[in-house]
């Protein structure tokens, strides 16, 4: 049992937003406003590096899942992100990343090691969040659960999903294989994986190597032209359709 407390509640259009804290990690749970008490599948999301749980990329994806499919969607702030304090280690790693970026040096080695550090802290937090959310009657402990995280969300999500049998389908993408490939080899659930073909940080070979590492019988790689931050919006629609297929929830409004 984990201590979960709801700390705030608001709604916007068709979507109810409830802030919560689980074991000290601040999170947000989005649900269909009209059917909040109806049991529906949960999609856990993880945000990207330097962002936070309510970044527009998170709330926008949540809106597609909640209003398009009736899912519940939850995100927690990663350690050192959003409403959470930065440690001296966080500050040092971020400074090193900015230094490398300014010097035109590769970001990969720093991002890989820093995200690995954060993932080791975040994985038990995601597990505790899933435990706690499963105690809510509108989610339940036995329903299928999805996971959606790109960039740092993949660095946290791949080790989390590798050790988490409750996750039934996952969308990942845009990270290096160095640390993650070993975890990916243990993952057998359906995967959709996003990769940018002209990524200035992650080479094509690195991106494909991580996709290749998943043991999943059913896996899809979506490559798009464009740089690291140019992942097209329509990949969010595609991810929603992926979760609708695998979590058994028809799309009720076309996106």
Closer to its own copies by Cβ: residue 18 or 222: 222
Closer to its own copies by Cβ: residue 54 or 219: 219
Closer to its own copies by Cβ: residue 142 or 205: 205
CB of 213 to its own copies, least distance (A): 13
Based on the shown chain and the rule CB under 8 A, indicate whether residue 127 belongs to the binding site for its own copies.
no
Angle at 17 between CA 189 and CA 139, to 5 degrees: 45
Could you give the string, one character per residue 193-232, with x where binding to its own copies holds by CB under 8 A and - elsewhere? ----x-------------x----xxxxxxxxxx------x
Could you give the string, one character per residue 87-116, with x where binding to its own copies holds by CB under 8 A and - elsewhere? ------------------------------
Closer to its own copies by Cβ: residue 2 or 245: 245
CB of 193 to its own copies, least distance (A): 9
Nearest 10 degrees: Cα torsion 165, 210, 27, 37: -50
Instruction: Pull the structure tokens for residue 72.
Output: 């519940």
Instruction: Please list the residues that pair with 72 across neighbouring strands.
Output: 42
Closer to its own copies by Cβ: residue 52 or 219: 219
Residues 139-198 that bind its own copies (CB under 8 A): 197
Closer to its own copies by Cβ: residue 10 or 225: 225
CB of 83 to its own copies, least distance (A): 36
Instruction: Please list the residues that pair with 46 across neighbouring strands.
Output: 149
> Of the listed pieces 71-79, 106-114, 148-156, 244-252, which binds its own copies according to CB under 8 A?
244-252
> Is-contact 161 149, C-beta < 8 A?
no
What residues contact 218, with CB distance under 8 A and at least 6 apart?
A: 190, 191
- How many of the chain's residues bind its own copies (CB under 8 A)? 23
Q: 3-state class of 81 per DSSP?
A: coil
Beta strands in the chain (DSSP E): 4-12, 15-22, 25-32, 42-46, 72-76, 145-149, 167-173, 191-196, 219-224
Based on the shown chain and the rule CB under 8 A, indicate whether residue 138 belongs to the binding site for its own copies.
no
Based on the shown chain and the rule CB under 8 A, indicate whether residue 14 belongs to the binding site for its own copies.
no
Instruction: Please list the residues that pair with 18 across neighbouring strands.
Output: 9, 29
CA 245 to CA 111: how far, in whole Å? 33
- Which helix H or strand E contains 112, and what residues bound it? helix 108-134
**How many other C-beta atoms lie within 10 A of the C-beta of residue 140?**
14
| Contacts with its own copies, residue ranges (CB under 8 A) | 197, 211, 216-225, 232, 234, 237-238, 241, 245, 250-254
């Amino acid at each position: 049992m984990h201590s979960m407390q709801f700390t705030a509640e608001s709604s916007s259009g068709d979507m109810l937003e409830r802030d919560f804290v689980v074991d000290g990690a601040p999170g947000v749970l989005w649900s269909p406003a009209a059917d909040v008490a109806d049991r529906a599948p949960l999609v856990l999301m993880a945000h990207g590096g330097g962002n936070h749980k309510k970044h527009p990329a998170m709330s926008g994806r949540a809106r597609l899942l909640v209003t398009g499919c009736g899912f519940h969607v939850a995100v927690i702030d990663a350690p050192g992100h959003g409403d959470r304090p930065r440690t001296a280690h966080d500050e040092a790693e971020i400074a090193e990343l900015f230094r490398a970026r300014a010097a035109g040096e590769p970001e990969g080695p720093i991002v890989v090691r820093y995200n690995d550090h954060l993932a080791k802290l975040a994985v038990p937090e995601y597990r505790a969040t899933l435990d706690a959310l499963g105690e809510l009657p509108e989610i339940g402990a036995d329903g299928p659960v999805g996971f959606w995280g790109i960039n740092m969300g993949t660095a946290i999500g791949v080790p989390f999903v590798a050790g988490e049998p409750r996750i039934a389908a996952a969308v990942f993408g845009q990270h290096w294989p160095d640390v993650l490939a070993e975890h990916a080899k243990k993952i057998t659930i359906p995967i959709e994986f996003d990769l940018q073909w002209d990524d200035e940080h992650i080479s094509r070979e690195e991106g494909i190597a991580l996709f290749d590492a998943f043991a999943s019988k059913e896996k899809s790689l979506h490559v798009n032209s464009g740089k690291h931050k140019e992942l097209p919006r329509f990949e969010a629609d595609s991810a929603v359709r992926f979760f609708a297929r695998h979590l058994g929830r028809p799309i009720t409004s076309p996106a």
